[in-house]
Amino acid sequence: MAAERFPSFGLATPPAPRAIGADEAISLLKSGQAKPASLLAYGNGRSYGDSCQNGAGAVVDMRSLNRIRAFNAETGVLEADAGVLLSDIIAHAAPHGFFPAVVPG
């Protein structure tokens, strides 16, 4: 994965950490080559006040894990990958009468 920056809300951009994909993170954990505390999941960088700083470890880029796997239109229960955007969840659920109880902003 190419070196890139992982900006966050408030424009805090720490030095570029080593970036890996979710598949590589799983392999590192299963093989014992990485401890869970050495990995930091990165979504889309929009969380208020959160900053992606893990200079001593690796950042796991979750943006490719962006599928809605299941949705029950009767109960509103939605199962999604870690990289799904809130806007995608709303777009999927709102036509069925569901909207998150709490949203940022």
Q: Domain residues for 27?
A: 1-64
Same domain? 32 vs 3: yes
- Quote the CA–CA distance of 13 and 56 in Å, as a whole number: 16
Q: Which of 20-24, 35-39, 62-66, 73-77 is most confident?
A: 73-77
Bridge partner residues of 19 (DSSP): 59
Same domain? 58 vs 46: yes
Same domain? 28 vs 75: no
Same domain? 33 vs 79: no
Do 90 and 82 form a contact (C-beta atoms < 8 A)? no
Same domain? 42 vs 80: no
Strands 78-80 and 68-71: antiparallel
In a domain, 76, yes or no: yes
pLDDT in tens, 45-84: 776 666 667 777 788 888 888 999 999 999 999 999 988 9
pLDDT of residue 9: 59
The pTM (predicted TM-score) of the whole model is 0.66
Same domain? 83 vs 42: no
